[in-house]
A and B are shown apart, each in its own frame.
Chain A
Amino acid sequence: MLLLAIFFVVPVVSLLLRSVTEPQLGLQNYETLIATTTYAKIFWNTFLVASVVTSVTILLGYPVAWLLSILPGRWAAIGFGIILLSMWTNLLARTYAWMVLLQSTGVINRALKALGIIDTPLQLINNLTGVTIGMVYIMLPFFILPLQATLRTIDPAVLQAASLCGAGRWQAFRRVLLPLSLPGILSGGLIVFVMSLGYFVTPALLGGTSNMMLAELIAQLVQSLLNWGLGGAAAFVLLVLTLALYALQVRLFGAPGREG
């Protein structure tokens, strides 16, 4: 307990204190963050990527979670095996794979060229496209696994009832299945969004220097520029955003991990 206090609470609090005391007492670091266009762009990038990643993850993850929740055991087991393998594989190994795949002489560009779809290689890396692909890849398991658990708790009889009452497929989906699975979608989506906001590794490697995101900015301010005041302020913004969204999550859906 003491360990946590000394090596967790004290460092975090003192970092936040530095944001209002360095170089002098006051809120000027926060003013700089808001007023400088470079930083404004970084905040915008971060929100944009987190939103796009969350939307794509939901769109791709929902059908998968749906199918996994109704597939017969053997096939579902294969699906879970693949998801878990991808999730547990070292983050850097996975990001490395995407760096190789997405580069201008990489497999994807060559294949597209060979198929005659493009003439010049697409710029897939060192921009937000690369970051989005890499992040969706990492976030998918975090969305699919909880959502399929939610879907499993829905009683198929409810849908049978819907069809007995004359609902077509689309209507049954829109008015029964979707509302019933909405808590799972929102809760999973929120997790993905929060994780994306503070993600460091993938944006740093796939994003290039001109498309920085918030976590990378914090690291750079502190490590290369030694600007602890501004770095602390940026960290504080990220911290508040994360905790606020987490509080929302707890309020709406209860604390995650309590059932498991």
Chain B
Amino acid sequence: MLLSFDRMGLLRWILVLITVLVMLFLILPVAFIVALSFGSSQWLAFPPPGWTLRWYHEFFADPRWMAAIWTSAKIGVLVMISSTLLALLTSFALVRGRFRGREALRAAFLTPMILPVVVVAVALYAFFLKIGLNGTLLGFVIAHTVLALPFAIIPISAALAGFDKSVEDAAILCGASPWEARLRITLPSIRHGLFAAMVFSFLVSWDEVVVAIFMASPTLQTMPVRIWGSLRQDLSPVIAAASSLLILLTLVMMLLAALLRKKADR
């Protein structure tokens, strides 16, 4: 009865009430930002006195915002490539390899995900200051790859563990070289894992704030660093416009993921 929605009686409505309130709590700030970004009030009055696209114009007209988007996209794509490739190699070792300490190694690869980002950020900052990578594109890509790796390793090794190796062996028996078999049989079979790894890696880098704050220089700023900087100055509605664009991107990604899942189910 407590696990059957139809037979819970009054308790059901208490649960529904709390859930609706929590859902509103979760969705309202997101909706609120989007509404504000179209509002004409400089001081973020709500409900807005009128509607305007002014903040979006300002956003797209500002070369600093455009540079930040470009930097974020560049770093994101590079991280996506490097992290997926490294995760692929690592996953082969972790799933197929038979060696001592495999579990320990696996745990080691996932630690960047557990550690507080601020510790990683400060440590990398100190290290990069010494070797002169701070404020460089390469430094950004390396730092974000470290953070993104676990998120790429998890889906790829899951896909690889679910792939029957005998299919690959069959291809080799039929005359394919081991590499040919891996490239033409195994890789296409784990493409969903690879795709998930690419999306996660990109998103980790694209949304990453803490490490980016330390890595950034005045001339090299990602989108989150730029938002962070503006937030510390004032609460300009341009930030609302920038945030709304990020929310739009999230929605697109979610729809894409849902579509792909439907396709995969079929």
Q: Which A residues are CB-close (under 8 A) to B250?
A: 85, 88-90
Which chain B residue shows the least CB distance to A151?
B3
Q: Say yes or no: A96 contacts B114, CB within 8 Å.
A: no
| B116 and A198 within 8 A (CB) | yes
B residues near A88, Cβ cutoff 8 Å: 203, 250, 253-254
**Given that A96-B235, A198-B118, A238-B119 are known contacts, is A64 also in contact with B22, CB under 8 Å in the complex?**
yes
A63 to B8 CA separation, bound complex (whole angstroms):
13
- State whether the Cβ of B19 lies closer than 8 Å to any Cβ in chain A: yes
Complex-state Cα separation, A82 to B232, whole angstroms: 29
Contact A154 B3 (CB under 8 A): yes
Chain A hits for B109, CB < 8 A: 4
* B209 interface residue per 8 A CB criterion: yes
Q: Do B116 and A239 touch (CB < 8 A)?
A: yes
B60-68, B166-174, B179-187, B239-247 - the one binding chain A: B239-247
B26 A198 Cβ-Cβ under 8 A: no
Within 8 A of B (CB), among A60-115: 60-61, 63-64, 66-72, 79, 81-86, 88-101, 103, 105, 107, 110
Q: Does A10 have its Cβ within 8 Å of any Cβ on chain B? A: yes
Given A137-B29, A238-B116, 8 more A-B residue pairs with CB atoms under 8 Å apart are A8-B111, A11-B124, A90-B207, A92-B243, A96-B243, A151-B3, A205-B231, A222-B122
Q: How many residues of A contact B (CB 8 A)?
A: 85
Closest-CB distance, A75 to chain B (whole angstroms): 9
Taking CB atoms and an 8 Å cut-off, the chain B residues in 18-74 that contact chain A are 18-19, 22-23, 25-27, 29-30, 32-33, 36, 43-44, 46
B43 partner residues in chain A, CB cutoff 8 A: 105
Sampled A-B contacts (8; CB under 8 Å): A14-B127, A63-B14, A63-B19, A67-B15, A67-B19, A200-B210, A235-B119, A239-B119
Query: Which of these, B26, B121, B254, contacts A137 with CB under 8 Å?
Result: B26
Interface residues of B (CB under 8 A from A): 1-5, 9, 11, 14-16, 18-19, 22-23, 25-27, 29-30, 32-33, 36, 43-44, 46, 86, 90, 93, 105, 107-112, 114-127, 142-143, 145-146, 149, 154, 158, 203, 207, 209-210, 213-214, 224, 227-228, 231-232, 235, 239-240, 242-244, 246-247, 250-251, 253-254
Known: A83-B26, A90-B247. A96 touches B118 (CB 8 A): no
Q: Which residue of A lies closest to B32 (CB)?
A: A97
Within 8 A of B (CB), among A184-236: 194, 197-201, 205, 215, 218-219, 222-223, 228, 231-232, 235
A242 interface contact, C-beta 8 A? yes
Residue of A nearest to B9 (CB): A169
Smallest Cβ distance from A55 to chain B, in angstroms?
Answer: 15
Binding site secondary structure of chain A: helix
A163 CB-CB contact with B under 8 Å: yes
- Are B1 and A163 within 8 A (Cβ)? yes
Interface centre among B116, B120, B227 (most CB of A within 10 A): B116
- Residue in B29, B114, B207 whose beta carbon sits within 8 Å of that of A98 in the complex: B29
Interface set of A (CB-CB < 8 Å, partner B): 1, 3-4, 7-8, 10-12, 14-15, 18, 60-61, 63-64, 66-72, 79, 81-86, 88-101, 103, 105, 107, 110, 137, 140-141, 151, 154, 156, 159-160, 163, 169, 172-173, 176-177, 194, 197-201, 205, 215, 218-219, 222-223, 228, 231-232, 235, 238-239, 242-243, 246, 255, 257, 260
The answer to whether B227 and A89 touch across the interface, beta carbons within 8 angstroms, is: no
Question: Would you call A8 and B114 a contact (CB within 8 A)?
Answer: no
> Given the known A-B contacts A7-B124, A238-B116, are A85 and B254 also in contact in the complex, defined by CB atoms under 8 Å?
yes
